[in-house]
Every structure is written in C-alpha cells, then in structure tokens.
Structure 1
C-alpha cells in the first residue's frame, strides 16, 4: 500500500510528552473512579504491554496530565531509555514518558514495536539524546525526527510473523538450556535488524 517510502515519524504520528500534576501525592486516589496513573514500575520485565497500574489519580489530576488510550505506544525518556510499550489500558502518563498515537494508517502496531525496538533506532535515539557523552532525556522532537521506512502492510505482517516466532523461542525458558536460549536470542536480534534495515532482503 505504501511501498518503502521514507518519512519522518512526526509526519505520520502524534508524538507528545506526558505531564505531571504537582504535587503528585495530592492527586493519588484509591477511588475506583480514578484514572490509571502509568509509571515505569507498571511495565513488566521483557514485556511489550502495559496492562494495569499500581496507582490511580483523580479526575482533576488527569486534567493536568497527558491522557493516553489503549493501543497507544509509550516510550520512557529516562529509565529504560527509548523502550517502547503498547498500552492495553487507558490512563495518564507523567513527563517521564512520551506517547505515540495516530500511526495506524501506516504501521501495524506489532511491526512498529519491533521497529522501535531495533538496534538501529535505539542507537539513533541514544545518539540524538546524548550531549557531551552524557545521556539526556529523550524528547518528543528527537522521536518526531526519526526517519522510518514504511513497507506494505502485507510485508509488515510477514516480518511480524517471523520475528514473533523467534521471540516466543527466546522467551520460553522451557524450550532449552541457557546456551540454546542465548543462541536463539542472538538469531532473533540478527534477523530483526536485518529485516528492518531493508538491505539485501
């Protein structure tokens, strides 16, 4: 549908920084009417989804924050630097997160997840966010400036299928001894970066 066009991420998606109501303690609530307050601790180890939160904030607090919805991506701009997560819940994010939404006309979510996780984009974000060798916060403008190739939706689904198979093997601790798992992890990373570079396919 879109071939292999190269576009700036910010031209095809909405990318914004979160916001924190302050002092945050004033807005934390135990009420069921509260809004999910998404923090880095809500992201599980080796998972791509955020499914629940430990805390909620009041409706007033939500108005001072950044609302996100199920299906949006969020990236940490400090801890777990640049690591993408897909939301399976609605909620609000503080200023330690960036949100990515409105990309569905161009990317299948699982493909975008693999693309943002690739070494090439992770390294690019790291370089653009560094100054004098020190890592700075990843800001929305850096992510908007990323140049991405957009393969056809069919090609995206083919790549997803291949990478998901490798990911299942890598994450299944029952599938073999640690050395074998490490070997499969390296294979996954090799093919992920090869498939997402669009060179010598």
Structure 2
C-alpha cells in the first residue's frame, strides 16, 4: 500500500495523477506534486508495471492492471498483488478477480477487503499456456466492447452487413410476367 496522501498535498490542476477510491479505474480528479511522488515512491512500497490493483473499500473488487505510468493510489483503499507470474499471469489474475471471488469483511460503515480476504480467494489456475489463451480471448472481447478504435469499426461493419442483408431481402421481388 502507498503512503497516505493528505488533501492539503493535492490539487485539481496538474502533477502526478492521484487515484482515490471514487476515481480508481477512471480519470483522476486530483494530482500530487512530482516531488512528493518521487519521495514516496522511493521510500514506500509501490506497484510494478503489470501488477493487479484492487479497490479494497467502497466499490470492492474493481481491478486495474498498473500500466507503469506515473500515478499514485490512495493508501489502504487500493491494494495490489505482488504475484509470481511463473504460476499465475497478472493478466489472468485480473480477469479472475473481476469475478470477485472473495468474501469482504462487513460490520463497519464501509465493507472492506483485507489482505486475508484476498489471500483466501479461490480461483482456478490452469497451465500458463491455457491462461494466455483465455486472456487473449477475453482481451479481444474487451477491445470490441470498450475500445472505440477497434470495437466501433467492427460494430459498424457488422451493422452494414446486416443492413445490406435486410435491404436485399426487402427489395427482392418475384418477377411477374406482363400479360
């Protein structure tokens, strides 16, 4: 978990994006200085590129794969897995965690996900090759559904073919011999 950032250390204009629980996986609406980012990143634990980050409070279980770009994450509300990818690929783990296989702790004002909840999560772990195959398929579906540069053209092409099919069906008539 990252070191706590105080509101007085943030601004809404520029700097390194600071993701809070409400903006995690979306657009940041707060920023910290480059100096604070550099200091905290050198002193405290920080995710590596490719690590799976998980929201641990509020909207529990939202997952993001850290892209390695400068960004800072809200202390104990966002956690990450330091995972051994020789056993489970982070990209596979992300999809499994989107299924929310854990039991969140209840009782407080906001449900929380603790390290123990994550450690006790049970997921199927096929071979690395099978994980790669599954991730490849899910990545393609994700791109079609969420990436405008690939999904939208594919959808437009599919609708164009559908239009042409129904146009041809509706405008094809049997020829009637003139008498």
Give a deviation string over 1:129-149, Cα, whole Å, max 9, x none: 153697611111100111233
Runs of 5+ unmatched residues, structure 1: 1-16, 46-51, 181-201
- Report the equivalent of 1:149: 124
Q: Does 1:44 align with 2:26?
A: yes
Runs of 5+ unmatched residues, structure 2: 160-179
- Report the equivalent of 2:46: 67
Find runs of 4+ consecutive structure 1 residues off by over 6 angstroms.
Answer: none
Contact 1:129 1:137 in 2 (8 A): yes
Contact 2:56 2:79 in 1 (8 A): yes
The alignment covers a number of residue pairs equal to 146
Distance 1:39 1:18 in 2: 12
**3-state DSSP of counterpart to 1:69:** coil
Alignment TM-score, normalising by the size of structure 1: 0.56
Distance 2:79 2:41 in 1: 16
Relative to structure 1, is the Cα distance of residues 95 and 19 closer, same or farther in structure 2, using a 3 angstrom cutoff? farther
Contact 1:42 1:53 in 2 (8 A): no
Relative to structure 1, is the Cα distance of residues 169 and 71 closer, same or farther in structure 2, using a 3 angstrom cutoff? closer
